[in-house]
Amino acid sequence: MPDLEIRQLGLTDYAATLAEMQAVTAQRTHETPDQLWVTEHPPVYTLGLNRRGVRLPQNNIPLVMVDRGGKITYHGPGQLVIYCLIDLARSHLNVRQLVTILESSLVEFLAAHGVQAEARADAPGVYVDGRKIASLGLRLKNQCCYHGLSLNIEMDLQPFADIDPCGYAGMQMTQTRDLNITLNMTEIAADLTHRLKEKLTHVR
């Protein structure tokens, strides 16, 4: 089985990155390595497939329709995004197991830095004292997944107030900077991708 690869993409355009994820997933074979793409995006709202009752933002930030599950969220500079391009059948994983790996990696990272966090069955993502710090969204095609997670690190949280994040009115957001975690984006990305790679390699 091919090794899990980690790609450091830096700051990328959201729509272009989505198109590349879709192309890689459509063209992959049994020999294509699984990948974690590490990136961040300029300000953008993304609206998932569950669009009923969504409160749309009334500002100048672009809105992109996407093919992941869930409703609307925001991406911007200072937010770590890790896309998971994984052949679930080859890894003997289902979507629920992958979500658990993503959530537990985030919870363990935060715990290692003195922050107690939890996942919630009713609202995918990771929360600290009821405030959302990380979001998850996946798309499955031919038993291969893409999209992934976003972790708020040091960003402008105001654009979240102009939407109901992930469909939850009044959902408050937080980030690692406000929780006295002093690691920067590069350090957190290295820590989190290491945890993810360990867990994903273990099940392969």
Q: Which residues are annotated as a binding site?
A: 68-75, 135-137, 148-150
Given the DSSP bridges, would you call strands 144-152 and 35-40 parallel, antiparallel or unpaired? unpaired
Between the CA of residue 185 and those of 113, 135, 190, what are the distances in Å? 15, 17, 9
12-48 in b/e form (b: 16+ CB < 10 A) is: bebeebbebbeebbeebeeebebbbbbbbbebbbbbb
Residues 173/154, Cβ–Cβ less than 8 Å: no
Max distance between CA atoms of the chain, in angstroms, equals: 47
Burial environment of residue 202 by CB neighbours within 10 A (0 to 12, 13 to 18, 19 or more): exposed
Question: Known binding site for substrate: residues?
Answer: 68-75, 135-137, 148-150
Given the residues 84, 144, 145, 166, the one annotated as active site: 166
Encoding tokens for residue 74? 């925001």
Residue 64 host element (H or E): strand 63-65
145 part of the active site: no
Show which residues are catalytic: 166
